[in-house]
Amino acid sequence: MATNRRTLLKGAAALAALPIGLKTSAAAAQSTPAGTPGATPTGPMVVGTPEASLEVFSWWTSGGEAAGLDKLFAAFSAGSPSVSIVNAAVAGGGGSNAKTALQTRLQGGQAPDSWQSHLGKELQSLYVSPGYCAPMTDLYAEQGWNSVFPQGVLDQSSVDGVPYVVPVGNHRGNVLFYNKALMESNGITIGDTLTLDDFFTACDTLKAAGVPAVALGDRDSFAAPQLFENTLLGVLGPDAYSALWNDPTQWSSDGVTQAIEAFAKMLGYLNPDHAALTWDGAADLVAAGTAGFTSMGDWAYGQFVSKGTEASIGWVTHPGTAGSFVTVIDGFTLPVGAPDPVNAANWLRAAGSAQAQTAFAPFKGCIPARTDVDASSFNDYLKWSAADFTTATAVPSNAHGSAAAPQVQQAIFDATIAFIVAPDVETYRATIQQAAQDDAAS
């Protein structure tokens, strides 16, 4: 369902979070076996004496991702200076490797103190339903988070009305980054919005000049599905796009077929090494001017900042998607039976604070999940993203786990790989529809 901006912003009053750090209550930290599904939840407001270390699990290892994570760690360390942080990040864009490794740990009762999760379906299916996450109702109340996250973000952070994750950053997934000098030298003008027709005209111009127009790094399994979902959104518009995730019959519309055809056409402009590159490698091609565009999320801007290449980059919404904001929101969980429950709770207090989110956003490439932060010091890119978020229609990302169940996401990933190898429009469409139907029937 498309989330209207009023709904998203409802309740986003300018309440500041309570100070970070240990509370003075003498309540004792509870201890249950790490990651034991169904064990008595560790109290989310746990307070007491910090343990020696805090282990945080994520997939943030690229330049901008690691720089952003360091800012969150610094915010935690400011309130817990004696605690050593174990950064258990597993490389792989979109969490493809990390999520698999994490499942092994959770199933073996080896939960870290906190792990990264997308909001929405991923949180619900992979972590809450199996009983790995402790509820955070009390922590939310203590920190005033119900008033500082938009209602749409709160909804996606919760299962049956109970919050299970602390959102830290909100990325826009439907952004088309481009090399400004390359466009200029080829006589291409990119305005504030871009139609699909104008995009393909620009692609043809670049192709004639011998330059790959579309940089893709589909060694990361999310990259091509993200290009596809952005194209679906551009052709269908936000309402019909959102309906796809709730009603499998919507996959048989003419608009879906048109979007797949447009996606197939885009694949004709790729960098020849796309299968060998990751998303950040593809972004680097654009920064270097050896490819024209890359359709990616805000985190690409964090990559440009980390490499000092941001001055070469322009941006516009993915063709046809102006007025829509594909939300890709990361948060951190509290496990049932955290090994270091006092530290875990303090980590979440820090990560949810306005200070930490303001420090994190410019490096990671995202806007804060909180809406009560001062964005005046942000770079022009983040100011653009933050301003658009207040007016655009928010829609979920399937490539990043929020829109559909993990099995539907995986089916689309697999079908997309097959489509790149052998682009048959009807097979692709029908395979996805079948996966959506199977999930709805399960």
Residue 413 binds ligand GAL, judged by CB under 6 A: no
Half-sphere exposure of 391 (CA within 13 A, CB side): 6
Interface positions, 240-279, toward ligand GAL (CB under 6 A): 279
For 364, residues 6+ apart whose C-beta sits below 8 A from its C-beta are 60, 64, 65, 67, 68, 69, 71, 169, 298, 299, 302
Q: How far is the CB of 253 from ligand GAL (least distance, A)?
A: 27
Amino acid at 1: M
Residue 328 binds ligand GAL, judged by CB under 6 A: yes
Identify which of residues 298 and 340 has a Cβ nearer to ligand GAL in the complex. Answer: 298
Identify which of residues 97 and 186 has a Cβ nearer to ligand GAL in the complex. Answer: 97
Binding window for ligand GAL (CB under 6 A); candidates: 87-95, 264-272, 351-359, 370-378: 87-95
Phi, psi of 4 (to 5 degrees): -65, 145
Options 55, 113, 330, 340; binder of ligand GAL; rule CB under 6 A: 330
The SS3 call for residue 110 is: coil
Identify which of residues 59 and 381 has a Cβ nearer to ligand GAL in the complex. Answer: 59
- d(CA 193, CA 44) in angstroms, rounded, equals 45
* Cα Rg of the chain (Å, integer): 21
Residue 217 binds ligand GAL, judged by CB under 6 A: no
Options 95, 152, 212, 292; binder of ligand GAL; rule CB under 6 A: 95
- d(CA 282, CA 236) in angstroms, rounded, equals 26
Interface positions, 142-181, toward ligand GAL (CB under 6 A): 171
Q: Which of 171, 154, 89, 100 is nearest to 397 (CA)?
A: 171
Instruction: List, in sequence order, every beta strand (DSSP E) within 35-161.
Output: 53-57, 84-87, 114-118, 158-159
Give the number of other Cβ atoms within 10 Å of residue 268's Cβ.
Answer: 13
- String of contacts with ligand GAL for each residue 390-409, x by CB under 6 A: ----------x---------
Q: How far is the CB of 168 from ligand GAL (least distance, A)?
A: 9
Residue 301 binds ligand GAL, judged by CB under 6 A: no
The SS3 call for residue 342 is: helix
Size of the site for ligand GAL (CB under 6 A): 13
Residue 65 binds ligand GAL, judged by CB under 6 A: yes
Binding window for ligand GAL (CB under 6 A); candidates: 34-42, 90-98, 122-130, 355-363: 90-98
- The residue whose Cβ lies closest to ligand GAL is 93
Binding window for ligand GAL (CB under 6 A); candidates: 89-97, 155-163, 178-186, 406-414: 89-97
Amino acid at 123: L
Identify which of residues 102 and 328 has a Cβ nearer to ligand GAL in the complex. Answer: 328
Residue 63 binds ligand GAL, judged by CB under 6 A: no
List the structure tokens of 222: 């999310």
Options 149, 299, 332, 363; binder of ligand GAL; rule CB under 6 A: 299
- d(CA 420, CA 263) in angstroms, rounded, equals 10
Identify which of residues 266 and 361 has a Cβ nearer to ligand GAL in the complex. Answer: 361
Helix axes 425-441, 254-266, angle to 10 degrees: 130
Options 93, 225, 331, 337; binder of ligand GAL; rule CB under 6 A: 93
The SS3 call for residue 330 is: strand
Q: How far is the CB of 42 from ligand GAL (least distance, A)?
A: 26
Residue 218 binds ligand GAL, judged by CB under 6 A: no
> How does DSSP assign 404-432, residue by residue?
S-HHHHHHHHHHHHHHHHS--HHHHHHHH
CB 168 within 8 A of CB 370: no
The residues binding ligand GAL (CB under 6 A) are: 59-60, 65, 93-95, 118, 171, 279, 299, 328, 330, 400
